[in-house]
Structure 1
Amino acid sequence: MTPPSRLSFARTDPRVLAVAAGTLLLTDLLRVWLPSIITIFGQAASTPAELMGAFALLWFLVPFAVVPLAARWDAAKVALAGAAGLAAARLALVFVHGGQPQLYVASVGLLAGLCWLAASAVRGGPAATGVPFGLAAAALQHAALRTVDLSWQSRWWAAPIVALECLVLLWYQRRAAPGRSSAGAWFLAGPAMLLAGMFALSPAVATVAVSYRFEPVATTAPPALPELLLGLAVAGFLAGATGRLGGRVDRVLAAVLLLAAAALFGYGGPDGLFLALLLGCGALGRAFRAAEADAAPDQDAGRGPRAGYAALGGMVVFAVAAVAYYAAYDLGYPNQWVPLAVAAGPAAVLLRAGRGTPAVGLTWRSGLAALAVCLLVPLLGVTTAPAASAVAEPGRGLRLVAYNIRMGFGLDGTYRPGAAARAIAASDPDVVVLSEVDRAWLLNGGHDDLSVLAAELGMRYWFAPAADAVWGDAVLTDLPVGAVETVPLTAAGAPTGAQALGVVVRFGGREIAVVSTHIQPPPDAEPLVQVGEIAAFATRFGAGRPTLIAGDLNIEPGDASMRAFAAAGYADGFAAFRPVRTFPADRPVKQIDHVLVRGLTCTDVSVGGVVTSDHAPIVTTLT
């Protein structure tokens, strides 16, 4: 069957819609499966990395056995069965939350989804168009939901939306006819999912890129700008995937731009995020168009085991690269090269000489419709930026909450930012200090924890990177803010990295310096180097103002590090209120979260009872 020369939304090939719907569901399922591997099976790095990696890779290797079966028997039935399994698991994850059930429902869904992918490739289908449309739909939906997936939504409408997506997959999968298959395009599915989730089509990266505003400390992003940036990125991606393919210059330019985008993401720090997103989206889409042009014209239906193996090979690239990139933050080795290495695959596709004749892309009407959708859908997730409130009532103490949010995941592996926000809001805080804030890691689902919590609390935020540009610590407040500064801390053997963020707030007619930090101790040693750097920074930044240091310090009362803080003039604010146990959240046995004060006094202290993290939040009033 020869594919149509024009892709019209009014007469779209059922195969395109089937591949797009399956890609959307598989992408969303991975947003649950990836953090489940870390928080449930891996138990936040307490499981050996090699065991965790082997368990994760197993689910990507088993489907290789499906390829010869699909080629020998009925690939259509195998693809439909895989689609049914993927749809059932994706819908179940709206209701199944936490623990081993979540892990294995997501894992079985991933297995089914990969079997669907492989059988669809064997049967033949328009991966060069269907996969990009699926990735674009996933990005737009994620943006409209403010990066909180349908699996984690507590609203009634989450299940009907997922059910509708599942019905679209099953309906069009049943109607799809076999056709020509491009092994190169099917291979690109895995690398494209990784690059799109890391930066090229990430709503969270768009928000972070705008919120930095080319400053070392990220502040609350202006409404609508991140969403518009993401919409333009998705539009550029689809234009690259569906537009007319030019000659050698077109391909070389796209390859160079894609490699440059991956290098900027890996090595460019906060300033590189904006350009990485803008440069990478269109070039990544162009690789799909080039793969379609290079497809062998005589590859008929039922003769595509090569395409099936290519599809699964691309997903193995996804798995290995994801593990290699994010494991570095536990094991401590350079990882900036990983996205660049993954981008080399699509770049190689672009640089190959085309054998086929490229098809015409979207009609101009469909192109305008796609542009409108890309620009308008993300705006559904826009919230009004909060403004600074008036100064506090005279005589009232400053209410402070310090909370290590563990990237938003509870001990059972569920993502409940709404519950965390309600627990924080119940304390009526003036200032919130957060540790382990994840703003875009694909490993954790690509959520922007900080924007979600800030919107729920009606507060502005200041964010400072620690491990990379999208992982670190934050201060939220609705008080007027003066000076803001961040300094990196010496790694001292800990791979994740650390920093100290200072924010001056105006409260009760006075200025108070708030320092948010998360100490990363070296193995089996006191973090005295970081303690000295934090104390020196707080003293300089405080400049004679009342000053507090708060966060997950990973030290206990009586440690040498606490004595070093005291010698530098920072008293233990909780000394009169012990025991103040904060870890682990379900059964606290020790205190590693602290508030240290200079020129201030803690008048009351309480420990929250929520388990939306592995730490409990601490609340105190300072005078």
Structure 2
Amino acid sequence: MRHRRIAAGGLALGVVLLTDVLRVWLPGIITIFGQAASTPAELMGAFALGWFVLALATPALIRRVGARRVTLVAAVLLAVLRLALTASPGGRPQLWLATAGLLAGLVWLAGAAAATDQPVPGLALGLALGAAGHAVLDTYDLVWRGDVLAWLVSAVLVLLFLATQAVRSGPPGPGGARAWLLAGPALLLAGMLALSPAVARTASSYLWGEDGVAVSPVFGLAPVPFAVAGFLLAALAPLPRRVGRLLGPVVLLTGVVLFALDRGRLLLPALLLAAVGLGFCLSTAARASDGPVAGGTATSARVSGGPGTDGTTTSDRAARRAYAATGGLLVFAVAAVAYYSAYDLGYPHSWVPVTVAGLVAAVVVTAPPDGRPVPVPLPAVRTTAVVAALALLGPLGGADEGPLDDNRGEPRPELTVVAYNIRMGFGLDGRLDLPGLERAVGPRTPDVVVLSEVDRGWLLNGGHDTLDLLADRLGLPYVFAPAADTLWGDAVLTRWPVSAPRTRPLSAVGAPTGAQALAVTLDLGEGLRVAVVSTHLQPPPGQGPVVQAREVAAFATGYAAGRPLVVAGDLNTQPGDPAFGELTRAGLVDALAAARPLATSPADDPREQIDHVFVTPDLAATGAVAPPSTASDHLPVAVTLTLPRGR
């Protein structure tokens, strides 16, 4: 039992390290390999899938060299490359380090599968520890922090992982392939929904908001310990197999279908149901046999390498498990590419997570009965209590900014507005650059920050809640509105009390990515109220966003109802273009006119004036600038507005 506990702990730590690498590698496909959407989506997909296909050769390598040698070499490479990523300067070196780390992780997992017939305790613990750790870190990974504490924690994780790999475990039993097949789908569903701290906080923020928008919650990570506890208890202390065989798939599919409905207020029940359902599915698959194996013959084959009653040798069964693990990870890659490519190619994609959950359900429901008792090497209740307590440190580590009505400042005659397309928080070097974003925005002490391309938990971008992380740094509460989906859209950050938030979806007009307009009213005191609209126009291929600009102008002026109005964001149109004219014809004024030309894109060589601030004529604009920064592929624009009195 001691060796099995060490093996489960080693598998868990390896899953944590592999997840860390994935959180760097996945966004690198977009920000570094994709070169700000200049690389065709098909080529990016081929690059992503190619490494998972290459990993399918691992079982053959294991047959030739042996599982232990392959696993140890891959484990060392995974550990070294994980540490190297923390020191990476970004750019192509970061991409190739992450790619090498990914391949090492895939090979290591296949080797671990060949030598392990009971993967679920370790897999479940690894997924739960990864979620708990991400919550403690407030979704800001150790890899991106790079400080002394981050290096110390990373080194401890790596050393513990290598120590567990050096311990020899007993010979594996005959089963496990069915459970290993679920490793990839479980990694996808856990990272996309079930065990994502960023999704948990976004779900909480929708519960605090109204009319389809989300606002800063207090203790937004509170659902994470419940999700982690439900998942681990279901995985380690399973129901009777007949019950779990049906209950797990039903609960999992219900949660994933709620997620696919793309409604903010359904996110929290979707997350909790998916976590519990995924745990039940893993535990049920772990107790399924891969074929009829008699107890005595199985034991004999386990030791001697000879054939069992199903005619397979120990080597055959090891290869079967390795192929199951690599095949499941290929499902992860195909599903991730299929899901997120939809935002570039414009096809319906809600079927992807539902299909993956259906695959998990099919594996569980069709599992043959297994008469062997399967001891779980980890104490279910104690393990769950420890990991859930770790996850609890996230919400207890500090509350968010809290309700917007508690953030009133002293009335001022001026309002400083910053508009910034933050590209999900990733700089031109491909690193998550929260300090750079803060430096670009913070020195001007803005009253209002309007953000475009805000990511709140996409697995493709590493599962970070970029909005909340930046809001914490700036000390500003936020209002968020979904555009592409419930986790990606636009935001307004402000220290002033906010009322009457509204969001208006904009016509797609052939553009694959969704767009919206978010309107809020700021109460500046002494009876002065200002309407602010945040939007990110998405033009159809080869055209300008004329239709969307017309819709935004009508929505914004109607919402303001004669009050002072600010419309800002990445509008993907330049002065003199037809879409630009739609906004000026609505009576709005270019607040950046005095500083023209004021190019904002691309950030390292600005040539296009596509980020704008429009205002009503009663707001006088001064001091317009586009400060240099490489924290995004756009530059921010900032302007000071003088307010009318007595409005």
Q: Deviations over 1:581-614 (max 9, x none)?
A: 1111111112100011113121110112111100
Aligned to 1:446: 463
Q: Deviations over 1:424-460 (max 9, x none)?
A: 1111100000000000100000010111011111111
Correspondent of 1:313 among 312, 327, 336 = 327
1:179 maps to a residue whose letter is P
Correspondent of 2:631 among 595, 612, 619 = 612
Correspondent of 1:326 among 340, 344, 355 = 340
8 Å contact from structure 1 (residues 513, 546) kept in 2: yes
1:622 maps to a residue whose letter is L
How far did 1:367 drift? 4.7
Q: Deviations over 1:255-299 (max 9, x none)?
A: 111111111111242122111101010111112211221134537
Aligned-partner Cα distance in 1 for 2:482–2:384: 38
Aligned to 1:511: 529
8 Å contact from structure 1 (residues 127, 185) kept in 2: yes
Correspondent of 1:524 among 528, 531, 542 = 542
State which drifts further: 295-304 or 510-519. 295-304
Report the secondary structure of 2:182's partner residue.
helix
Alpha carbons of structure 1 residues 187 and 364: separation in structure 2 relative to 1, 3 Å: closer
Correspondent of 1:232 among 215, 226, 230 = 226
Report the secondary structure of 1:157's partner residue.
helix
Aligned to 1:561: 579
For residues 253-268 of structure 1, what are the structure 2 equivalents within 5 Å? Answer: 253-268=247-262
8 Å contact from structure 1 (residues 405, 613) kept in 2: yes
Alpha carbons of structure 1 residues 45 and 483: separation in structure 2 relative to 1, 3 Å: same
Report the secondary structure of 1:550's partner residue.
strand
Alpha carbons of structure 1 residues 582 and 355: separation in structure 2 relative to 1, 3 Å: same
Aligned-partner Cα distance in 2 for 1:369–1:212: 28
Aligned to 2:308: none
8 Å contact from structure 2 (residues 28, 95) kept in 1: yes
8 Å contact from structure 2 (residues 119, 180) kept in 1: yes
In the alignment, does 2:207 pair up with 1:192?
no
Correspondent of 2:161 among 141, 159, 169 = 169
Aligned-partner Cα distance in 2 for 1:393–1:171: 60
Report the secondary structure of 2:416's partner residue.
strand
2:506 maps to a residue whose letter is L
CA RMSD of aligned residues (A): 1.8
In the alignment, does 2:460 pair up with 1:467?
no
8 Å contact from structure 2 (residues 244, 284) kept in 1: no
Aligned to 1:403: 420
Correspondent of 2:401 among 385, 404, 407 = 385
Alpha carbons of structure 1 residues 562 and 15: separation in structure 2 relative to 1, 3 Å: same
Unaligned stretches of 5+ in structure 1? 5-9
Aligned-partner Cα distance in 2 for 1:218–1:515: 13
Aligned to 1:335: 349
Aligned-partner Cα distance in 1 for 2:477–2:400: 11
**TM-score of the superposition, structure 2-length normalised?**
0.91
State which drifts further: 426-435 or 252-261. 252-261
Aligned-partner Cα distance in 1 for 2:466–2:147: 18
How far did 1:378 drift? 2.5
How far did 1:53 drift? 1.2
How far did 1:227 drift? 2.3
Correspondent of 1:376 among 386, 392, 410 = 392
Aligned-partner Cα distance in 1 for 2:457–2:225: 17
Identity of aligned residues (%): 49
Aligned-partner Cα distance in 1 for 2:114–2:418: 55
Q: Deviations over 1:303-353 (max 9, x none)?
A: 410000000001100101000000000110000000011111221132134
Alpha carbons of structure 1 residues 14 and 583: separation in structure 2 relative to 1, 3 Å: same
In the alignment, does 2:194 pair up with 1:179?
no
Aligned-partner Cα distance in 2 for 1:365–1:525: 59
How far did 1:116 drift? 0.5
Aligned-partner Cα distance in 1 for 2:385–2:501: 43
For residues 19-30 of structure 1, what are the structure 2 equivalents within 5 Å? Answer: 19-30=11-22
Q: Deviations over 1:511-555 (max 9, x none)?
A: 110000000011222322111110111111101100010000000
Report the secondary structure of 2:518's partner residue.
strand
Unaligned stretches of 5+ in structure 2? 303-313, 643-647
8 Å contact from structure 1 (residues 217, 463) kept in 2: no
8 Å contact from structure 2 (residues 549, 579) kept in 1: yes
8 Å contact from structure 2 (residues 624, 640) kept in 1: yes
**TM-score of the superposition, structure 1-length normalised?**
0.95
- Equivalent pairs counted in the alignment come to 613
Aligned-partner Cα distance in 1 for 2:122–2:384: 19
